[in-house]
């Protein structure tokens, strides 16, 4: 379960920001997760609850924001969204696609007190 190590990285970022900006508690953490990021959301939520114990983010609400999967089609030279990594181009049906977005995961923002 790589979600545990992802959340451990998030905790380090939160702790660094808490020291830098002098806040005591995180109420809400929003993360953006690309469709192709290979992140299991239930596992991420479970790991978040476990890893954040004893930190400034203990008890914080985790909000996950979905990002579309985007590819560049070499057949019609268009950038398009696709539902699955191996889906064909929705414009021309071509299969020569290069991912250009949707494989990322990042902290969007957080509400703190």
Question: What is the SS3 assignment for 107?
Answer: strand
Q: CB burial class (10 A; 0-12, 13-18, 19+) of residue 8?
A: exposed
Q: What is the pLDDT at residue 1?
A: 62
Distance in angstroms (rounded) separating the CA atoms of residues 60 and 26: 6
What's the whole-model pTM score? 0.89
Residue pLDDT, tens place only, 31-90: 999 999 999 999 999 999 999 999 999 999 999 999 999 999 999 999 999 999 899 999
Alpha-carbon separation of residue 39 from 4, 5, 28, 64, 97 (angstroms)? 11, 11, 20, 11, 22
Mean pLDDT of 87-97: 97
Element (H, E) at 2: none
Domain count, the chain: 1
Q: Which domain holds residue 106?
A: 3-112
Q: What is the pLDDT at residue 111?
A: 98
What would the two tokens of residue 27 be?
Answer: 């109420």
DSSP 53-92: TTSTTTTPEEEEEEE-EEEEETTTTEEEEESSTTPPPTTT
User: What CATH number is given to the structural domain containing 93?
Assistant: 3.30.2320.80
The CA dihedral of 100, 7, 65, 49, to the nearest 10 degrees, is 160
């Amino acid at each position: 379960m790589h979600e545990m190590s992802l959340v451990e990285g998030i905790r380090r970022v939160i702790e660094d920001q808490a020291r830098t900006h002098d806040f005591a508690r995180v109420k809400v953490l929003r993360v953006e997760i690309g469709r192709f990021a290979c992140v299991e959301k239930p596992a991420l939520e479970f790991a978040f609850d476990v890893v954040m114990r004893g930190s400034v983010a203990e008890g914080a609400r985790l909000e996950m924001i979905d990002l579309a999967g985007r590819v560049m089609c070499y057949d019609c030279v268009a950038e398009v969204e696709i539902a699955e990594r191996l889906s064909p181009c929705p414009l021309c049906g071509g299969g020569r696609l290069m991912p250009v977005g949707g494989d990322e995961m990042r902290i969007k923002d957080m509400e703190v007190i």
